[in-house]
Every structure is written in structure tokens, then in C-alpha cells.
Amino acid sequence: MKEILLIKLGEIVLKGLNRKAFEDTLIKNIRRRLAKIGKFTVKSSQSTITVTPLTDEEDMDEAAECVSRIFGIAAFSRACAAEKDLENIKETAAAYLEELFGTISTFKVEAKRSDKKFPYKSPDICREVGGYLLEKFPEVTVDVHHPDVTVTVEIRDFAAYIRAGAIKGAGGIPVGTGGKACVLISGGIDSPVASYMMAKRGIELTAVHFASPPYTSERAEEKVVQLLERVARYSGRIKMLTVPFTKIQEQIRDKCREEYSTIIMRRFMMEIAEKIARQNDCQALITGESLGQVASQTLGAVVCTDSACNIPVFRPLIGMDKEEIIEISRKIDTFDISIQPYEDCCTVFTPKHPRTRPVPADVIAEQNRIDFAPLVEEAVNNVKVTIIV
């Protein structure tokens, strides 16, 4: 008896004439992600995607965990297939549910007959399968209102599928259907959450990380890799570009007034990230800023930062408080990594009294104390590429 996964689509079903393109992308994403686990066939029929292992060696626990993190899936179920014969359905259901029924007290049966040629109607299927299960497991009773488990029998094109309950999926839309964007990734709590939230809206991520050795360590960069590995469990493959940022930060420290240093640093980051985005066919930038959280994230500071680049900047956390962000970071398992004490370049040369209401003209005047064009060009030309899968 072979176990399979039945995947239910979510938001995709609302896409009208574009629906097939979204489904095709989701199927490609599922195939790509499951390829690391084993060999599976992935097919779509009647608004359900079926994942079937090709051998008995595939780990279905691992496959289910993988599928639970793929955007575009509303829910999925572990199920088994039976021949479209009522006796075979009853016997298969009893064999498949034997272990589960040893742990519950009540159940009910629901039937969905997509194949209208099947000779039994849904109430008949419920009655026959329910009665058989009661005979096989007399210690379990029927409760149609509040059962411990709902057993569902689906009569579809090629088989009858038996499943017990559904598992909530990751939601969203498939990665790759929303375009490409560059996320500015630090080692903190916020930017991995911002990455996750934009991937959930179909964005394919390229990550830009700024490193300033010797002020930042290799451990700090390794921390960012670990964070992106956690995000990649949801988003799939991420290209990480590490930008050498030491010379620019030293120039800001030496030639600009201290209270402007953070906002000037952020402007350089945005300018460099935009150049990298254009080189990598990305149409926007993503940051983890939350309005008013720190001095560089006041409205005035955000305005000054945005004026340094000419492509859209998405800030999915802009209206969230820290507790809301932390809650998501725990959900995606990045929080414990983010709080490891390895500083990133955003904490290098932090001013004691940063400007919270910077005037753009004053910021630009301070920035122009630096001959920044060759420094920016050098940084962009010397990025280090790491592929996160």
C-alpha cells in the first residue's frame, strides 16, 4: 500500500485565465524541492496536485514536511489510493487507518464523488465505509458532530483516495510568479522575516549582505548563511551576494559628521543594492525596516534612504511592532540564529546621537565629502557569490 500526498490549491484558484501559469510554477517548485528527498511524480487533476513516490525508499514524513513549506499550497493530506471498487476501498481504508484508529475514540466518514460514473453516491459510500470501520475497530465510535478524526474518501478520475484530516499549507502564491527582488539581509531578526514574507507573495529572492572585516567576523557572515538556509526552506534557492563594505564605512567615519553616519551608510547600501539588483534582473529592493523602530527607520530617515535609489523598495514589516516580527521569526525558525551575538556592519561605528529627522539636502552635502563613485564601483565589482539551497 503506497502512501501519497494530495495537495489543495489556495489563492491560485482565483487567478482566472492566468491560473495555469501559477499551477505550472507550483508544480515545478514542488518537483524541485522534493528532488532532494527522492523520486516522485507530481501531477495535477481536478484542482488537486498528487505527489506519488516512485519507490518504497522515499521518506514520506520528510516529503510532507517539505511540502508544508512550499508557498502556493493551502492544505495537503497524506492519503492512500485504492481501486475504484467499494470492497477494495473499505479494505484499503481499514489497513491504512489501523495505526491511527488505535489512538482515537471517535470518527466520521465523508465522501466526495468527483467521478459521477462511480455507482455509489456519497451517502452510500459514507455508510458502507463507516460501517466497515466500526466492524474492524469496535473500540471506536461514530460522532458526526465532533469527531477526533474525519476520514475522507475521494472518488476521482483514476483512483479512490482515502485520507484522514488535512494539514495546513504555507499559503501565499508560488515563488517565481511575482518577479525577482533583492533583499538587504543582515544578521538581525527583521530582514529574514521580510524575506519570508515577500517570498510568500511569489518573489524570487536574491540576497545582498554587507560585510566589513575586520570589524565584522566570518562568524557573522556564516550566521547570515544559516538564516538564509532557514528562509530557503520556504523560498527555495537564494543567491547570496556578499559586498565588501569596509572602505566605505571607514570613509564615512573619517569624513562625515557622526550624527549623519548611519543614514549615509544606508544610502550607500541602497545605491549598491540597486546596481546589484539591475545586474541580476531584479525589479525591486526589500528591507526589514519597521517604522520608528530605530533612528534610521523614522519617516524622515526612510525618505532620505529611498532617494538614493531609483527602483521600488518593499518594506513588508513597516507597520509591524517587534513582537509581531519576533512571532514570525519563531515560526520560520530564524529567531534563535538572529540573536546569536555576532555583529553585522549596521552596528559598526554607531553614532551616539543619530539624526532622527534628517534634511535630505544636509545628508547629501555630508555624503559628498566622499569621492564615493569609485568606492561603490569597487564594492559592486568584488561581491562574493554563495548559493543557498
Model confidence at 45, pLDDT cuts 50, 70, 90, reads: confident
Whether residue 197 has pLDDT greater than 90: yes
Enumerate the H helices of the chain as residue ranges: 19-34, 60-67, 86-101, 122-136, 190-199, 218-235, 246-255, 261-279, 299-306, 322-331, 335-338, 360-367, 372-381
Model confidence at 342, pLDDT cuts 50, 70, 90, reads: confident
Q: Does this chain's domain 3-170 share its CATH topology with 180-388? A: no
Model confidence at 177, pLDDT cuts 50, 70, 90, reads: very high
Instruction: Provide the CB-side half-sphere exposure for 73 (13 A, CA).
Output: 31
Whether residue 229 has pLDDT greater than 80: yes
Instruction: Provide the CB-side half-sphere exposure for 108 (13 A, CA).
Output: 8
pLDDT confidence of residue 313:
97
Least confident of 168-172, 283-287, 349-353, 363-367: 349-353
Mean predicted confidence (pLDDT) in 228-252:
96
Query: Chain-wide mean pLDDT for the chain?
Result: 93
Least confident of 36-40, 100-104, 349-353: 349-353
Model confidence at 348, pLDDT cuts 50, 70, 90, reads: confident
pLDDT confidence of residue 58:
92
Quickly name the fold that domain 3-170 has: VC0802-like (3.30.2130)
pLDDT confidence of residue 282:
98
pLDDT confidence of residue 292:
86
Whether residue 343 has pLDDT greater than 80: no
Say how many residues make up the chain: 389
**What would the pLDDT profile of 363-372 be if each residue is shown by its tens digit?**
999 999 999 8
Contacts for 26 with CB less than 8 Å, ≥ 6 apart: 9, 12, 49, 70, 72, 73, 174
Model confidence at 351, pLDDT cuts 50, 70, 90, reads: confident
Mean predicted confidence (pLDDT) in 46-55:
90
Model confidence at 157, pLDDT cuts 50, 70, 90, reads: confident
Amino acid code (one letter) for 204: E
Give me the percent of the chain exceeding a pLDDT of 70.
Answer: 100
Largest CA distance in the chain: 85
Nearest by Cα to 304 from 331, 333, 350, 269:
269
Domain ranges of the chain: 3-170, 180-388
Mean predicted confidence (pLDDT) in 17-44:
95
The phi and psi torsions of 249 (rounded to 5 degrees) equal: -65, -35
**What would the pLDDT profile of 302-318 be if each residue is shown by its tens digit?**
999 999 999 999 999 99
pTM of the model: 0.90
Whether residue 264 has pLDDT greater than 80: yes
Three-state SS for 211? strand
In angstroms, rounded to a whole number, what is the distance separating the alpha carbons of residues 3 and 29? 21
Whether residue 346 has pLDDT greater than 80: no
Mean predicted confidence (pLDDT) in 358-378:
91
The class level of CATH for 180-388 reads: alpha beta
